[in-house]
Amino acid sequence: MRLPNRAALIAGTALTLATVAGIAVGSSGMRHFDPALTGYAIGALMAAFALGYRFTVWAQRPPSRMYFKRGFELMFRRAAAVAATPSSPSVAVAPSPRAESGDEASPKRTATGASQPLFPHGAGTLGYALARNFVAQEFIRRRGGYRWIMHLCLSGGCTLAFAITFPLVFGWIHFSSFPDNAEMYHVAVFGMNVDSFSVHSFKAFIMFNLLNISAILVLIGLVMAGWRRFTDPGERATQSFYEDIVPLLLILAVTATGLALTVSYKFLAGRGHGLWAIVHMVSVVALLLYIPFGKLFHMFQRTCSLCVSRYKKVGEAGARAHCRRCGEDFASQMHVDDLKTVLDELGFDYRFEGAKGEVHYQDICPACRRGLLALNQGRTIGR
Amino acid sequence: MATLTLPEEKYIELYGPTPAHTPAGGWNNGEPDKLVKTHCCFCGVQCGIQLKVKDNKVIGFEPWEEFPVNQGKLCPKGVKRYMQNDHPDRLLSPLIRNESGFREAGWYEALHKTANAIKDIQAKYGKDAFAFLGGASMTNEKAYLNGKFARIALGTANIDYNGRLCMVSAGAANRMAFGVDRAANPWSDIPLAKVIILTGTNLAECFPILTDYVWRARDAGAKIIVIDPRITPIGRTADLFLPVRPGRDSALANGILHVMIERGWTDEKFIAEHTTDFDKVRQLVKRYTPEVTEKITGIPAKSIIAAAEMWGTAETSMLLHARGIEHHTKGTENVLTYINLVLATGRIGRPGCGYGTITGQGNGQGGREHGQRCNQLPGGRDISKPEHREFIADFWGIPEPELPKVGLTACEIIDAIERGEIKGLLSISFNPLVSIPDSERTRKALEKLEFFACIDFFLSETARYADVVLAGSLQEEDEGTVTTGEGRCVRLRNSVSPPENARVDWKIICELAELLGKEKFFKYKNAGEIFTELTAASKGGPIDYSGMTYEKIEQNMGIFWPCPAPDHPGTPRLFEGGKFHHPDGRAKFHAYEYRPPAEDVDAEFPLFFTSGRVVSQYLSGTQTRRIGGLVDQYPEPLCEMHPLLAERLGIKDRDIVRVVTRRGEITVPAQVVKSIRPDTVFIPYHWPGKKAANLVTNRALDPISKIPEFKVCACRVEKVSDAPKLAAAGQPIPLKSK
Amino acid sequence: MIGAFDGNEFFLDPSRCIGCQACVQACAECGTHRGVPMIHLEYVHRATGVQTAPVVCMHCEDPTCARVCPADAIKQDDHGIVHSAAKPRCVACSNCVIACPFGVPKMKVELDLMMKCDMCYDRTSVGKKPMCATVCPSGALYYGPSEYIEKFRREQPVNEFQFGRQTVRTKVNMMTSPELKALPFEVLDFLPWEGKDFDPFELSRAGAPDAAAAAVFDKTP
């Protein structure tokens, strides 16, 4: 990767400026900005820059770029239209005799491709994928119930905490007591009053304790994750300190110091509050800066899965790739063709040519590639 | 009258086979409490393996690389063998038959019911009307105990074992040729051989570990000759492959010897000094010219000559065979004609030179040594020889006349039950309904029994017919020794105790003996005491274990018999210096004319039927059909046939076909493959009921060894036209097949 | 304490394979993917013969799978081991499955996750042998010092493959003829050109065993 990466610099800068603008506008021209939270705000701006930079660097990689590009294209096009447009001449390769004789893939294509010609546009797929992958995290449930609960606790707790603290830090949400009644509060969002409540109400209890609730969720998740990292033989073998342990420690630091603040003002009459506040701020900023460069960046990378969902759906309905050796349907033709492009961009060239013709290794199914390995090896030693 | 009271599905629902896929405690079952160095329970190689034990359950395995025979290597059965001890089908208490199948019972009731039934039947019909059937997957200790129990506690002559279905013809031939029944060489001689003949052995699927020995020989430049009607995995890369027509093995061996004699590729000095009767053979094989042999065997004359040249001129060599030449009405003759090939070259009793039969059952060797055969007493003694009878009667402390005489062999016992001569049966680790040919007759025989008791750890298809089922022990739930196919006695260590109310096999037998009033002969505190008695009983016999102890076996990772004294290191290689075990010290040639199988092909039944194993299943499948991973590998029997035959019959791959013989029929999917002779079809035999290959096989017996002719009979094959639904009902494709 | 790999290497010789699946069964015992085998073992073409193709991950020096991964999910460690996709990152797009020249990665659709052979990292990283190579009864899979292979095998290892114009270097060795420095790899010879009846063994090996050599019906007595 060339450094400095211009596009990434621009993206980072833009995201930082957008955050600055967000703070300025959202806090009604800094009127609702709490100067005590300046450290957090600066940390957030640094993280915004890093995030923009890192995301752009990643999204420029040929395979990622291909998915984002296709994701955007397919979002605005009908699936059947995509299927009908050959994206490269190799679709025209005559299918093998086996394919003509009717393998499993053919009826599928007729059913979804011809008799039900139109898919809804991509929005449905996108919404569905968003709900399924990001909110319900259904794919993790399939990987294991324990991990699903663990991850829901961690991601839910963190998301909740950030959803409260970022608007507070940026001054987007602002609480103020009534001038005449210290027991009644206004809630202002982007400078506009939206609600008011008594400090004795249940609503108030929830509002003031939301961060503690999120902390407990996160703690449950952390204990579960820690237990797994200590006991699962597979994880123990393959985990790395920076990728797998550091994020847990950072989240633990944030949670523990945050709770320490609560303990301090609730039970210790504010003793040690100042110190804890600083430690908490340092840990939060460290976590924010870790996000773009470590394991937690996955929450942004998973946006790619939205493109993949759509890509797969369109691919299933469209032209299928049949293995040049066995004739079996093994992928969508779009996928095979796109991979050829990506491989070219990456500098790989798996083209075979000889007296009989030419074949790209991407046109051979994975099972046949395994068989060909044995055949070619056997041939060199007469077995 | 022991007819089934429940429909088959109900037995399966209650007692399995249930293919279990996950180990005890799930896949993440944690760290084991201990690792137990022991052996695999499947096949005569007896690979070393370490079982992981936690909370008295076997939860996994770890390779045992220090054990010299397999050095950590295992076949798929060995890898998954640990999945039996915590299995949902495991019998946890005795069962007594009632109108609704079985009910759980206490040991007192089950044992008394059994002992009383034995007494009643013997009082009414005589001692021999109660028979005992043992198994060759059990320890030496149990093999010895079974024999002693039958002779002393039951007083019956009719004790035999399922090894009768396995390699008795090889055993008989070995005794006739060499004067002793054991593989002549340790496996470690295989890599030293320059030419290896593998005849009638699907080595790669039935004894996978030996594949490594063969490859090591090939790495050192050895050539291999594979003789089989099917291109087995080891046959695929053979230097010479001879696709013999089923049932023609002795003709082929005679034909090869003909060429060797003609071209002078025999060791006349060795023959003169160390053997007898070669002239009879020389005379006999004169007629077996390559052309005549080609006509009989279906193997091109030039291949026969090539085999003779390769074998005849070899520097060192090993000949290995298994059931392929043994499962015949001339099984003993087949083996003897192949032994002729070994003796004629004089290449035996030296490093890299020798011969071996590969035993298929877990204790195929040891199980046939210690007296659980109808014609044998401990130490490989002969029950018909007065001095042998005298020795053992003395040893056991009974008068010689009380010692029963020769009894019936396994198949003959089933026949005698069918005829109504035997009324009661106690069987252990034997599933004759699946493993004996002509299963319909076996079923009818079981139905005729007045009383039938089984000792087993899973309810086998045969055990469904039992009146009393005594919940016994798996190999890992007991301790003892087994003797491997190379004659190495190895130590099985106890990993766990039997679950819940199940008991160790030998204790059940001793308790029954007690109820039959013979407790003073069966006072054992542990398996070790039985072993000590066994070794003492073998002293001075043809099979001498008297110098062995558990400690010595453990220290040496096994001891080869004969081991006649405490300071004797054992005998890995027999016949060194050309000394054989016949009284004259010579080996004996045997001249046997080729004769056709009991049932040959004809116009009505024009095809050969043969059966055998697949790598993922063991014997009647009582154990392996309960292990999910193994079931997935090859879920149900397929009928292999050549495309030339399939085309004639209008059959395509996975079409449902019916294979019909004079005894019955079996309906299975076809597997159309070029790896089998076009005149032969093959179905593996591990499955019960309608999927049992033994529905169609022939129960004709070898007159010498009484082994049945599993490997050849005549059949016809037809396409089942109304069966597309059957095909859709999940016909398995074991591996991706394109 | 024995170190990771400890001077041992992986050697693959598919020609020895007997298709017994001990490796597949044992692979499911591996700690990093318990219950799910990662090694591939298939018949090359069962209708014509019994040849089987065992394939473990070859652990390419420059892994195509990792390079085509849109989510940076496939990582190669300092030992050169290419690991299963990182669970948080993998988006189950199958790029790696389709692009791997050896056909190694497995898409676990039910898990939305690519998993692959990692040379039993839980074992090899603490000095044990991989499950598959420990149990393999034929020597098709061997893990140990290269001196053993040099001394005892007639074939010799290479770790370079020529896929058309693409050279691929791998950590895992392939046994081949001692004259060769790289495994020549041909595809065109093995394609069913012009609708020809497909028999790869005819194409690959003259004089292979033929069960029908003399077994013609008319000669059956």
Of the candidates B79, B27, B77, B87, the one whose C-alpha atom is nearest the C-alpha of residue B57 is B87
Which chain C residues are within 8 Å of B294, Cβ to Cβ? 214
Q: What's the pLDDT at C219?
A: 45
Candidates C13, C15, C29: best to mutate against B (most CBs of B within 10 A) is C29
Q: Which chains pack against C, by 3+ Cβ pairs within 8 A?
A: A, B
Of the partner residues C29, C135, C211, the one whose CB lies closest to the CB of residue B674: C211
SS3 B490: strand
CA distances from A121 to A79, A108, A118, A127, A363 (A): 7, 20, 9, 11, 29
Beta pairing partners, B426 = B132, B453
Which chain B residues are within 8 Å of C19, Cβ to Cβ? 204, 233, 615, 735
- Other CB atoms within a 10 A radius of the CB of residue A229 amount to 14
- Per-residue pLDDT tens over the stretch C84-130: 999 999 999 999 999 999 999 999 988 889 999 999 999 999 899 99
Q: What is the DSSP letter of A98?
A: H
So what's the architecture of B95-164+363-478+491-526 in CATH? 3-Layer(aba) Sandwich (3.40)
Of the partner residues C25, C34, C135, the one whose CB lies closest to the CB of residue B28: C34
CATH 2.40.40.20 residue ranges for chain B: 607-728
Query: Structure tokens of B81?
Result: 């063998």
Q: What's the pLDDT at C195?
A: 55
Q: What's the pLDDT at A3?
A: 57
Q: What's the pLDDT at A246?
A: 93
Residue A197 main-chain phi, psi, to 5 deg = -155, 165
Amino acid type, A54? R
State whether residue A232 sits within 8 Å of chain B by CB. Answer: yes
Candidates C93, C96, C104, C158: best to mutate against A (most CBs of A within 10 A) is C93
C-alpha B654/C-alpha B709 separation (Å) is: 28
Question: Strand ranges (DSSP E) for B526-578?
Answer: 559-560
Contact B285, B259 (CB under 8 A): no
Token pair 């979804």 is at which residue?
A112
Helices A246-267, A202-231: axis angle to 10 degrees equals 140
Q: What is the DSSP letter of C15?
A: G
Contact B226, B198 (CB under 8 A): yes
Chain B residue with the nearest C-alpha to that of A232: B28
SS3 B665: strand
CB–CB contact A67 C13 (8 Å): no
Contact B715, B607 (CB under 8 A): yes
- Per-residue pLDDT tens over the stretch C134-170: 999 999 999 999 999 999 999 999 999 999 999 999 9
Chain C residue with the nearest C-alpha to that of A338: C95
State whether residue B736 sits within 8 Å of chain A by CB. Answer: yes
Core vs surface per residue A287-311: b (16+ CB within 10 A) or e: bbbbbbebbbbbeebbbbbbbbbbb
Q: How far is B237 from chain A (nearest CA, A)?
A: 6
Of the candidates B434, B441, B437, B438, the one whose C-alpha atom is nearest the C-alpha of residue B464 is B434
Of the candidates A290, A287, A230, A295, the one whose C-alpha atom is nearest the C-alpha of residue A258 is A287
Which chain C residues are within 8 Å of B251, Cβ to Cβ? none
Q: What is the DSSP letter of A242?
A: I
CB–CB contact B236 C41 (8 Å): no
Contact B609, B717 (CB under 8 A): no
Confidence of residue C216 (pLDDT cuts 50, 70, 90): low
Q: Is 3.10.270.10 the CATH number for A6-64+127-304?
A: no
C-alpha A319/C-alpha A105 separation (Å) is: 10
Question: Strand ranges (DSSP E) for B33-170?
Answer: 34-39, 48-54, 57-63, 95-98, 101-104, 130-134, 159-161
C-alpha A152/C-alpha A154 separation (Å) is: 5
- Run of H or E residues at A76: none
> Which CATH number is C8-188 given?
3.30.70.20
Q: Which chains pack against A, by 3+ Cβ pairs within 8 A?
A: B, C
Amino acid type, B6? L
C-alpha A6/C-alpha A60 separation (Å) is: 11
Region of residue A53 (phi > 0: left; psi between -120 and 50: alpha; otherwise: beta): alpha
Q: What's the pLDDT at A103?
A: 31
Chain B residue with the nearest C-alpha to that of A327: B738
Interface subset of A 90-129, CB within 8 angstroms of C = 96-97
Of the candidates B103, B89, B106, the one whose C-alpha atom is nearest the C-alpha of residue B5 is B103
Of the candidates B370, B382, B379, B372, the one whose C-alpha atom is nearest the C-alpha of residue B540 is B379
- Per-residue pLDDT tens over the stretch C62-85: 999 999 999 999 999 999 999 999
Q: Sign of the CA dihedral A264, A269, A270, A272? A: negative
Q: How far is A79 from chain C (nearest CA, A)?
A: 18
Of the partner residues A325, A365, A373, the one whose CB lies closest to the CB of residue C192: A325
Residue B659 main-chain phi, psi, to 5 deg = -105, 120
Which chain A residues are within 8 Å of B236, Cβ to Cβ? 383
Question: Cα B572 vs. chain centroid, distance in angstroms?
Answer: 22
Residue B20 main-chain phi, psi, to 5 deg = -85, 135
Candidates B28, B674, B681, B733: best to mutate against C (most CBs of C within 10 A) is B674
Q: What's the pLDDT at B618?
A: 96
Contacts with A95 (C-beta within 8 Å, 6 or more apart), sequence order: A322, A327
Of the partner residues A232, A367, A383, the one whose CB lies closest to the CB of residue B28: A232
CB–CB contact C135 B73 (8 Å): yes
Flag residues of chain B having pLDDT under 70.
1, 722-738
Is residue C194 pLDDT above 70, yes or no? no
Q: What's the pLDDT at B185?
A: 97
Question: Cα B306 vs. chain centroid, distance in angstroms?
Answer: 32
- Run of H or E residues at C161: strand C156-163
H helices then E strands: how many in chain A?
17, 7
CB–CB contact A233 B237 (8 Å): no
Contact B485, B181 (CB under 8 A): no
CATH 3.40.50.740 residue ranges for chain B: 95-164+363-478+491-526
Options 3.30.200.210, 3.40.50.300, 3.30.450.20, 3.10.180.10; CATH of B8-84? 3.30.200.210
List chain C domain ranges: 8-188
Amino acid type, A327? G
CB–CB contact B738 A232 (8 Å): no
SS3 content of chain C, % helix, strand, coil (to 5): 25, 20, 55
Contacts with A275 (C-beta within 8 Å, 6 or more apart), sequence order: none
Q: What's the pLDDT at A326?
A: 86
Q: What is the DSSP letter of C102?
A: T
> Which CATH number is B168-357 given?
3.40.228.10
SS3 B125: helix
Of the partner residues C32, C72, C95, the one whose CB lies closest to the CB of residue A237: C32
Question: Strand ranges (DSSP E) for chain A?
Answer: 173-177, 184-189, 192-198, 320-322, 329-332, 351-354, 357-360
Give the 3-state DSSP-derived string for A117-166, with helices as H, strands as E and coil as C: CCCCCHHHHHHHHHHHHHHCCHHHHHHCHHHHHHHHHHHHHHHHHHHHHH
Q: What's the pLDDT at A86?
A: 44
CB–CB contact B736 A326 (8 Å): no
CB–CB contact B28 A326 (8 Å): no
Interface subset of A 270-329, CB within 8 angstroms of B = 326, 328
Contact A255, A215 (CB under 8 A): yes
C-alpha B705/C-alpha B703 separation (Å) is: 6
Token pair 């996750």 is at which residue?
C113
CATH 3.30.200.210 residue ranges for chain B: 8-84
Q: What is the DSSP letter of A112?
A: I
C-alpha B143/C-alpha B533 separation (Å) is: 12
| Domain B607-728 CATH class label | mainly beta
Q: What's the pLDDT at A173?
A: 83
Contact B661, B629 (CB under 8 A): no
- Run of H or E residues at A233: helix A233-238
List chain A domain ranges: 6-64+127-304, 78-120+318-380
Candidates B58, B79, B81: best to mutate against C (most CBs of C within 10 A) is B79
Chain B residue with the nearest C-alpha to that of C30: B27
State whether residue A69 sits within 8 Å of chain C by CB. Answer: no
Token pair 């009307």 is at which residue?
B129
C-alpha B705/C-alpha B252 separation (Å) is: 21
Length, in residues, of chain A: 383
What string of pLDDT tens digits covers the 383 residues of chain A? 455 688 899 999 999 999 999 888 888 788 878 888 888 889 999 999 999 999 999 999 999 999 999 988 887 765 544 444 444 433 333 333 333 333 333 333 333 333 344 444 567 777 887 888 888 888 888 888 899 999 999 999 999 998 888 888 888 888 888 878 878 888 888 878 888 888 788 877 887 788 888 999 999 999 999 999 988 888 888 888 888 999 999 999 999 998 888 888 888 887 878 888 899 999 999 999 999 988 999 989 888 888 898 899 889 989 999 999 888 999 999 999 999 999 999 999 999 998 878 899 999 999 999 999 999 999 899 88
Which chain A residues are within 8 Å of C155, Cβ to Cβ? 381
Which chain B residues are within 8 Å of A326, Cβ to Cβ? 738
Q: What's the pLDDT at A266?
A: 81
Contact C24, C130 (CB under 8 A): no
Of the partner residues A61, A238, A381, the one whose CB lies closest to the CB of residue C32: A238
C-alpha A332/C-alpha C151 separation (Å) is: 47
Antiparallel, parallel or unpaired: β C8-12 and C141-145: antiparallel
- Other CB atoms within a 10 A radius of the CB of residue A245 amount to 15
CB–CB contact A335 C94 (8 Å): yes
Query: Structure tokens of A30?
Result: 């800094």
Amino acid type, B278? F
- Run of H or E residues at B90: none
